[in-house]
Amino acid sequence: MKKGYRGLVCVLLLAGFIIQGCGSSDFTSGKVKEKSGDYTGAIGYYEKEVQKNPTNYDAWFRLGLVKGEKLNDYEGMDAAFREVEKLTSDKKDEIYACRYTAWANHLNAGVELFKRVSPDSSIYYDKAIEEYKKSAAAWPDTSLTYYFLAQAYQGKDDVENTILCQKKIWELDHDKDSYKRAGRYLVENGLKKKDEFRSTNVEGLRIQKNLKDIDKGSYESDVERILGKPNSKVKNKRNRKKVDWKYNQYGLTLTIEGGRVVNKKFTRKIDLKIDSTKYHDAVAYFNRAVDIFEEVKKVNPKDNENLNLLLQAYYEADRIQEATDAFKLAVDNDPGNKMNHYILGLLYRTVNKNDEAIGEFNEAIKIDPNFSDALYDIGATYYNWGVKLKKIGQEKGDESMDYKKKFESALPWMIKVADMKTKNAQETASKTGQDWRTQLSPEDSRIWESIGTIYALLGKTEQATTALDEFDKIRKAISNK
């Protein structure tokens, strides 16, 4: 009995080895179908096999190989190969070779199609995208593919897919330059929408601005220049020195006394027929750009370019308070970053916190004494402050000269920047023998224009003429170079 029992056990074990060695009938049938060229049939059997035996990595591998190499089903190929990779590393090199071959072939095909794009054959954008998508499906973890995809989508003005591709690059390798491009692209599209909003609402926006510009303190000559002649002029019953100018189309009454507006009143709400749809679209783009630049800022808090882009996006989205809070925190976290101080200064100035703005600009200068933008903006802040004080004085009928003190405070900072720009330009020009003025930019030239304007407002005609003459020389030198 013992001998017979042992013989039976050996037979059963041998049978087991034979079955394992040959595989199940579904796997075997799949290989037969594959060999005969019936790839759809092969896939059917391989799928049955992996359902019954999910740990059969050979079946998963054959399934991925047939789907990719024979049927161009790269999503299916990728899914099957990922199952193999969970089970074993034995197929690593073969999977890599298969992925790489498909990825490279379709990527190169896409590049060749993209080269054929022209204004008359934009269809090649779509053809290139088809190839790039196959390439991405074959090897999803390669950021280079999404770079090419983003290019093609941007070429055909497909904003959403462009951003999706650039986000994918960010997810894969945290390429901040690519992600900043996504933010810039959103800002660009936001500005386009803003321009469309303005162009489709020209008249309504013009009237809206005119009605806002006319306020207490405005001269009656400016009222007529901006709003035209009133429908009627009626002497005020309580005060005969006052005259009510009525603009019926706006439901507006302006009370004039002594040649100036002393009261402004709307008698009804007016519909300027301004369609704000495109404006809201623009703001949505700006808000999305803020999110992107904030992500980059978390990873690269000292990226000055990104900080400037973030500021622009916040400003365009009309989120000044949020931006101020964000940069106050940035200053606290990194007090040695001059750009954080500088941008916080710009934000303070936007909400008329001039002392705070000047304080932050000075902090930036302590870090970098040659930081010309901060030096200039101290002067610009004093200048803007003076302009506002002058306007307030006019509105109140106060002829105080306090505003001139702000103009006087602005001058030394502007002159210091002009001197720095001159010195740097002269040093560069000495090496080439050119006129130093040609080394400046149009933006640089405006410093002399600002100096001339301030001198003129202070009644210093001679100095104003000198500065404005220099501005004119610089402008001409730049345009002629």
pLDDT tens for 214-244 read 988 888 999 999 999 999 999 877 787 899 9
Amino acid at 289: A
What's the whole-number mean pLDDT along residues 452-459?
Answer: 93
- Give percent of the chain with pLDDT exceeding 70: 94
What's the whole-number mean pLDDT along residues 394-412?
Answer: 83
- Domain 24-90 grouped into CATH 3.40.640.10: no
- DSSP lists the bridge partners of residue 453 as none
What was the pLDDT predicted at 8?
Answer: 36
Which value, to the nearest 10 degrees, does the dihedral of the CA atoms of residues 259, 261, 262, 268 take? 150
Contact call for residues 27 and 49 (beta carbons, < 8 A): yes
What was the pLDDT predicted at 399?
Answer: 64
What was the pLDDT predicted at 148?
Answer: 96
What's the whole-number mean pLDDT along residues 412-433?
Answer: 92
Residue 397, pLDDT > 80, answer: no
Which CATH number is 119-198 given? 1.25.40.10
> 202-266 has which fold?
Beta-lactamase Inhibitory Protein; Chain:B, domain 1 (3.30.1450)
Provide the terminal-to-terminal Cα distance of the chain, rounded to the nearest Å.
111
Lowest mean pLDDT among 276-290, 342-356, 429-443: 429-443
**Which residue shows structure tokens 């941007």?**
154
